[in-house]
Amino acid sequence: MEKALAVLTKVTNVLMAVCLSGMAILVFLNVVLRYAFDSGITWSEEMSRFLFVWLTFLGAIGALKDNSHLGVDMFIKKLPLVGKKVAFVLSNLIVLYVLWLVLDGSWKSTMISTKALSPAVGLPLSYIYGIGIVVSIGMAIIVLFNMYQVLFHKDAVERLISMKGSDEEAMEAVAAAEAAEETDDSRQKWHTTGGRA
Give residue 163's domain range: 2-181
pLDDT value of residue 185: 61
pLDDT, residue 7, reads 82
Helical packing angle, 44-65 and 131-152, nearest 10°: 10
Residue 162 in domain: yes
Confidence (pLDDT) at 197: 52
- Answer for the pair 185, 92: CB distance below 8 angstroms, yes or no: no
Chain centre distance of CA 192? 49
Number of independent structural domains in the chain: 1
Is 197 part of any domain?
no
Q: Does 135 fall in a domain?
A: yes
- Residue 192 inside a domain? The answer is no
Q: Tally Cβ neighbours within 10 Å of residue 124.
A: 16
Give the pLDDT of residue 164. 54
Are 163 and 91 contacting, i.e. CB atoms less than 8 angstroms apart? Answer: no
**Is residue 19 one of the residues assigned to a domain?**
yes
pLDDT score at 196: 60
- Is position 187 within any domain? no
pLDDT truncated to tens, each residue of the chain (197 aa)? 678 778 878 888 899 999 999 999 988 998 888 888 888 788 888 889 999 999 999 999 888 888 877 777 778 778 888 888 888 889 899 999 999 999 999 999 999 988 888 888 888 888 889 999 999 998 999 899 888 888 888 777 777 776 555 555 556 666 676 777 776 666 666 566 665 65
Question: Residue 195: inside a domain, yes or no?
Answer: no
Asked whether residue 107 is assigned to any structural domain, the reply reads yes
